[in-house]
A and B are shown apart, each in its own frame.
Chain A
Amino acid sequence: MNCTQHFGCDVLVIGGSTAGCFAAVTVKENGLDVIVVDKACSGKAGASIMASGFWAVFNPDWGMDYDSTLDWINKNSSYLNNRTWTELFLQESWGTYLDLKAWGVKFPVPEEEMADFFRKSIIGDDKAGHHKDDPHTHYGIVPMRHRAMPPALRRYAESIGVRFLDRVMITDLIKKNDKVVGAVGFPMDEDSCYVIQSKAVVMSAGRNYFKPPGMNISGQTGDGDAMAYRAGALISGKEFPDMHMNIAKDPMWKGNGEMYPAYFQFDNALGMRIPNKGFDLSLASTIHAGYGPIIWDFDKATENDLRSIHEYLKKRGNSKEIERVGIEPGKGGQYPMIGGAAAGGCQEHTAGLWPVDIDCSSNIEGLYSAGDSCCTWMWGAIIQGPPPGLSPAAITGKRAGAGASRYAHEAAAVELTCNDISIFREHAFGYAERRSGFSPRWVIQLLQNYMMPYFVLHIKQGNRLIATLELVRFLREHMVPRMYSTGTHELRLAHEAENMAINAEMILRSSLFRTESRGWHFREDFPSEHDDEWLAWTLMQQDETGKMYVRKEPIPKEWHPETGTTYTSRWLAWEHPHNIN
């Protein structure tokens, strides 16, 4: 049996991307000792390294109006946003950009030119799909260069004394006396058990996906949501899906993120343009109705489109990915698309730990969450998206870091014994001790095949959700406990498979529970919004018998839409995406 190495700190941050680094820096600035642990390498791998593009900001100096922006977000969220958090975005997002600048992140556009860039490229005479209800016309964007931010964040964090543990897979939170007091895991590069004791933990391990093709989100297996759930945390959301497409000829291509913002125009197989309205649902509905495949048609690109693509690629600085698959927009060409490049993901801030306060504290003492692990409901149900994720990750990171610091200042250290650790240690290495059973890769492959079809995650229906839930439940109960692993790589895969299965069940149960359609959650058997019942958030928790249960948390009455507004009037100026067919 492997040896155990002990680490100690005031605050442990699990997941070292944007939210985790912001949290850790905040803790350190509060004078406390902090460790960031990541199963890959903070600053180099993970999702945030791909997080180029836009840092969303609200800045009145750019001509934005607070009340009208808030009103637009309320409508676009279909009144499912937590307005407190939405306003925190409006109030604090510009400050997070200033943090990045102060910490040495380089931006491709000088600050004095950003407002002009924003107006010309997003609001101006652009014909490439942006319109008056495009989200980016309501809050501003700071352009970012590919791979520029995470390394700078890490450098700054290390410069002020934040400690990092790279390539360490965390498998469980340590809980004692109903408090979270650290975490257990194992390093990828040695045969050892890591026990990290802390007074508080910030969970910032990111979203869950089912390791689908493309989008570079393969490390995102919902480990944080799953381990917090096992520890008794309330998990919220999960029913509002993400999708993303990719080109059929190279489903793993990651240049889609480079090209979409500049040329987001798609046709059905009959050559009819798919409206850029409630977009993922427009796409899924097109496929469901039998009008696929969906075509990315560069033959229809105008000169303005091509100029926009050129400018955008120049700003992002990652043209290699365009060259990698030989797409030359200027030469035209039609590219059939496949769905699910981000299958299983949920929309930003609509899935994760339930923050019981604006300090990102959870229902468990000592546990905080940030980034995509923190379900603030800042963007609600989301009609027109995708919503910003990066600057909200920074906002929640700073708030979780501050909250955890205040708690850790007051909290007494808890003494841990071998008995306290043993159950977590057994769980961490249980798959490695088995010599027979199921391959974690195969279990993950099964999960992908259960969950990924559009008719499970996007065009939902009660019987299909129940059928898929039964398969996932069987997989969780029968196959997951019988997985076996050889070496730390497969041990990590086994834990990821276990975590992904929990996330799959959460997605299915919350989707089944919400008996209406709202934003990007669409049920064929409940195709309308039901305000009487569903101006509410979903909450999930493990009961005493280990079963998952779901309940509603009503939205405060003062945030409900005005009495008498009709269903259609509350949608924005577009055709209702659910009626696309």
Chain B
Amino acid sequence: MAIQPISNEKCLGCELCIYACPVDVIRMDMSSKKAVTIYPEDCMCCALCEDECPVGAIYVSPEKHDPLMVSWR
């Protein structure tokens, strides 16, 4: 759903995707110096990160599944 895990092999660690995301889904993993999808549940499928990535390490599918509506959380 929505943003898929970023390819660790392809990622250059350039951070362009982090600045492209309007909703702070992607952060840097400081140990590997690669971008990771740390809050994928908040992805809004805008695909700006995919557009921005210079090496095709990101794919955003148009499907999105919200969490179940429950009594409290």
Residues of A in contact with B (beta carbons under 8 Å apart): 40-41, 44-46, 49-50, 147, 166-167, 188-189, 211, 213-214, 216, 218-219, 250-254, 320-321, 324-325, 438-439, 441-442, 445, 449, 489, 492-493
Contact = CB atoms under 8 A, between A and B. Distances in A.
Contacts of B38: 489
Nearest to A449: B69
Interface in B35-67: 38-39, 41-42, 44-48, 51-52, 62-64, 66-67
B48 A45 contact: yes
B62 A489 contact: no
B72 A45 contact: no
A188 B52 contact: no
A533 B10 CA distance: 63
- Interface majority SS (helix, strand, loop, mixed), chain B: loop
Contacts of A441: 41-42, 67, 73
Contact of B19 (A41, A214, A216, A325): A41
15 contacts: A40-B22, A40-B23, A41-B20, A44-B20, A50-B46, A166-B19, A167-B19, A213-B64, A214-B45, A216-B48, A252-B44, A254-B46, A324-B47, A441-B41, A441-B67
A188 B23 CA distance: 11
Contact of B45 (A254, A320, A438): A254
Nearest to A42: B19
Question: A44, A147, A442, A493: which has the most chain B beta carbons within 10 Å?
Answer: A44
A218 B41 contact: no
Contact of A445 (B24, B51, B63, B67): B67
Given A147-B51, A218-B44, A489 B24 contact: yes
Query: Size class of B's contact patch?
Result: 20 to 34
B2 interface: yes
Contacts of A449: 69
Nearest to A211: B44
A442 B72 contact: yes
Nearest to B47: A254
Contacts of B45: 214, 252-254
Nearest to A255: B62
B41 to A, nearest CB: 7
Nearest to A47: B22
A167 B24 contact: yes
A215 to B, nearest CB: 9
Contact of B46 (A166, A218, A442): A218
B59 to A, nearest CB: 10
Contact of A438 (B22, B24, B67, B72): B72
B41 A45 contact: no
A325 B23 CA distance: 23
A106 B23 CA distance: 27
A44 B19 contact: yes
B50 to A, nearest CB: 9
B62 A40 contact: no
Contacts of B72: 438, 442
Nearest to A490: B39
A535 B49 CA distance: 45
Contacts of B66: 445
Nearest to A146: B51
Nearest to B39: A489
A252 B39 contact: no
A448 to B, nearest CB: 9
Contact of B48 (A44, A167, A188, A325): A44
B48 A253 contact: no
Contacts of B52: 44
A140 B70 CA distance: 49
B39 A251 contact: no
A493 B41 CA distance: 12
A382 to B, nearest CB: 26
B64 A251 contact: yes
Nearest to B51: A147
A40 B47 contact: no
Contact of A324 (B44, B48, B62): B62
Contacts of A166: 19
A213 B63 CA distance: 10
Contacts of A254: 45-47
B24 A218 contact: no
Nearest to B25: A489
B63 A45 contact: no
Nearest to A219: B22
A297 to B, nearest CB: 21
